[in-house]
Amino acid sequence: MPVEIVRDPLWNNIRLDPLAFELIDTPAFQRLRYVRQLGLAFLVYPGATHSRFEHALGTYHLARRTLVLFEEQDDFALISRDECQLARAAALLHDIGHYPFSHALEEIGAMTHEDVARPLICDGEVGEVLRRVLGRDAPERIVALIRGESASPLQGLISGSIDLDKLDYLRRDAFMCGVSYGEIDVDRLINALTIVREPPSGAPRIGMIEKGLSALESLLFARYQMYRNVYWHHAVRSATAMYKRLVVDALDAGALDARTLAGFTDEGLLHVLGQRAPNPLLGALRERRLYKRAFECPAASLPPDAGEWIAEDHALTLAVENALARELGLAPGEVLLDYPKKTQMLGLNLLVQRRAGGVRRVTAAGGEGAINLPKLSEELYRSARWLRVYTARRTSLEAEGIVRLASASREEIVSRLDGRLLG
C-alpha cells in the first residue's frame, strides 16, 4: 500500500496511508493547522505555538506503531482489519472538533469538542471519504471510539487510561515548551500495551503487562508536572480567564453565535472579536498585559467541593465577578475568578496481564502494586489545581473572605449578590 511520509520534530518520519492523506486534505482537518494545541500558553512559553494538526498526526503515528507491535501477538488474530482501520482514522480525527485556543471555551459551557466532532465526521467531505473507503457506518463507529463509547477491542487506544492521545501531547507539549516535565518513555509504554482477554467474557481488550505499571507511574507524574507547570501555570490561567470573559461578553452582546465558534481558527476568532465586539480585554491579550493574582489557594487547602460552582456555573461566576468588581471599585470585567474544570489526573480503569497468569482490573477504587496509583493521582490533582482571583490591576483581597465565598452554597451566593460578597 503506497504511503506518504511527512517530517515531524517529535517522531521524525510519520507515514500516512492513502486514507489518512485524503482525510488530512479536507477543509475541516486543515483548520487544525491554525488552532494552537496549548491555547494561550505561548504567552508564557514562546515555543508553544504548535497546533492541533501536528498533535493529530502524532497520535495517528502512535496508533500505526502500536498496531504493528500487536501483530506479533497471537490474540491479534481476534481483531479484524476493519477495526484497525477505524482505530487509525479515529486517532487522526479525535481532535477535529476543537475550538479556537484549545479547551478554554468548553469551560464556559460550550459543547465538548467530542460533541462538536460528530457532524464534522459524519457529514460533509470527511463523512463522504470515510463511507467510501471504510463503509456506510464508519463515521458513526469512529465517533463512538472518540467518545469512549465503542465496543471495539481497540477502544483503549483512542480513549482510556493510557490512550495514545496522552502519549503524544505530553511529549509534544513538553518538547515545544522547552521543559522536561513531560519526558515520558513512550516506547516503553507502547511496548507494555497488549491484547488481553477481559474477564469473565474473554473478549479481546487493550491492557498492559504487569511490569509496565512503573512506566504508567511515570506517565502520572509527567501529567501532574505538566498541569502544575504548564497547563495550569498562573499566567496561562490568567490569559485563559481573560479570553473566556472576552468571548462570553461577545456572546451576551449577540456579536457571536455559539453555534459557529468551532468553525473559527485562533486568529480568525480574535479578528472577528475585534470587528464586532471591541473590548479592552482583546488589546490586553494581544499586548500580553495579563491580569494579576489577587488571591490564590490550592484545592488541597480548601474544604471538599469548595469553589466547584466557579468551574461549573459560568453564569453565576460572571455575576459574582461583576459584584466583586463593584465592591472593589473596578469596572465589570476587571475581576476574574478561575478554578480549572475538574478533571482526573489519571482516570484509571485498566486491565493488567499478570506475570503469574490471569488478568486483573486496576480502577480508581484501587489495586495492588508498588504504589497506590488512584490515591496518589487524587493527591497530585488537588496539589496542581488552584483557585485564583485575577484583577486588572494589583488589588489586595482578604483571603478568608474569598475562601468563605468559594465555600458558600449557590443559594447563599445568589442571595448576597446585591450586597457585600466579602463582608
Give pLDDT, residue 370: 43
The SS3 assignment for 361 reads: strand
With CA atoms as reference, report the closest residue to 162 among 220, 92, 102, 103.
Answer: 220
The whole model's pTM is what?
Answer: 0.94
pLDDT recorded at residue 366: 55
Looking at residues 197-224, what average pLDDT do you find? Answer: 89
Q: What is the 3-state secondary structure (H, E, C) of 164-221?
A: HHHHHHHHHHHHHHCCCCCCCCHHHHHHHEEEEEECCCCEEEEEEEHHHHHHHHHHHH
- Report the distance separating Cα 38 and Cα 236, nearest Å: 9
| Whole-number average pLDDT of the chain | 92
> How far from the centroid of its chain's Cα atoms is residue 120's Cα?
19
For the chain, domains (ranges, CATH) are 4-230 (1.10.3210.10), 234-342+384-416 (no CATH)
C-alpha cell at 116: 462538536
Q: Could you identify the residue written with the cell 472518540?
A: 146
Predicted confidence (pLDDT) per residue in 56-110, tens digit: 999 999 999 999 999 999 999 999 999 999 999 999 999 999 999 988 999 988 8
What was the pLDDT predicted at 103?
87
Query: Which has more pLDDT, 212 or 377?
Result: 212
For residue 414, pLDDT over 50 is answered with yes
pLDDT band at residue 266 using 50, 70 and 90 as cut-offs? very high
Over residues 122-130, the mean pLDDT reads 96
Amino acid letter for position 323: A
pLDDT of 346-389, one tens digit each?
667 889 999 888 898 877 665 554 456 667 777 787 888 999 99
pLDDT, tens digit, for every residue of 290-335?
999 999 999 989 998 899 999 999 999 999 999 999 999 999 999 9
